[in-house]
Amino acid sequence: MADRKPYVAGNWKMHTTPAEAAKLAQGVVKALECFAACDVALCPPYVCLAAVGDAVRGTSVKLGAQNCHGEIQGAFTGEVSAPMLKAVGVTTVILGHSERRQFFGETDAGVHARLKGVLAEGLEAIVCVGETLEQRQQNITKDVVGHQVRAAFNGFTAAQMATVTVAYEPVWAIGTGLTASPAQAQEVHAFIRGMLIQQFGPDAAAAMRIQYGGSVKPNNAKELFSQPDIDGGLIGGASLKVEDFVAIVKAGA
């Protein structure tokens, strides 16, 4: 894993009320007291940010959002902006999740614009890429992921990329219980690292973390995270249970 610090983020998706979120976050914080071997972020729904923010305040656990508009403000019903997220204590934002792309029509250009807004505000980002099952079967995984990476990051500087994490999440592995094998995941992670080297040079690329996401569980996390280019994970379902999430975080150490 070179000397990159592993990074595990919980994407709670559309789960938890503020009261449930507070309880879950408090459980994670308590279980990870004195644990510093891995960076950790919790990304609850927008309406739970305040509750989770209270729970993580003063700890090293980051408060993350699940999306963010690229503009600062404006007539964009249903959207929130980076300054708004920052004002409630968010320090990192997930962008381009496949569910946003699949169900809400987000495009590569949109992900790029959103990333611009996030970085302009000094927030960190976790940018998701990944192929569908059909694309994998057609043997175009690298074309698809390569295009997503280029489109998202085109025009940014190596210095800006210091606060960006990539999450490789094969769509066919999300919520299905079908995890990419460590070798399958490593192959794509190494490919992504190669693209980052081309775009930003070897030093910036070596420092960037690439998380794996898609049915990561306590029983498969260690093997996935021990691959040379896998620097932790973006966790969906298993991040909703304190014990499972904490076990996955500890597998990153």
| Contact residues for ligand 13P, defined by CB under 6 A | 11, 97, 169, 174-175, 213-216, 234-238
Among residues 102 and 154, whose Cβ is nearest to ligand 13P? 102
Give the whole-angstrom CA distance, residue 128 versus residue 97: 5
CA atoms within 13 A of residue 35's CA, in its CB half-sphere:
21
Question: Which CB atom, from 6 or from 236, has the smaller least distance to ligand 13P?
Answer: 236
CA 46 to chain centre: 16
Q: Which is nearer to ligand 13P, 15 or 194 (CB)?
A: 15
Joined together, the tokens standing for residue 235 give 């966790």
List 97, 106, 121, 189, catalytic entry: 97
CB of 25 to ligand 13P, least distance (A): 17
Please, are residues 130 and 140 in contact by the beta-carbon 8 Å criterion? no
- For the question of residue 169 being annotated catalytic, the response is yes
What residues pair up with 124 in beta bridges, in sequence order? 92
Nearer to ligand 13P by Cβ, of 195 and 234: the residue is 234
Structure tokens belonging to residue 69: 């508009």
Minimum Å gap between C-beta 174 and ligand 13P is: 4
Annotation marks residue 147 as catalytic: no
Catalytic residue among 69, 131, 169, 189: 169
Nearer to ligand 13P, 51 or 235 (CB): 235
Least distance in angstroms from the C-beta of 97 to ligand 13P:
6
**Alpha carbon separation from 187 to 71, 129, 142, 194, 227 (Å, rounded):** 35, 14, 10, 11, 10
The minimum distance between CB 124 and ligand 13P, in angstroms, equals 16
What distance in Å separates the CA atoms of residue 32 and residue 245, rounded to the nearest whole number? 10
Give the CB-nearest residue to ligand 13P. Answer: 236
- Report the nearest approach of ligand 13P to the CB of residue 156 (Å): 22
Q: Which residues are catalytic?
A: 97, 169
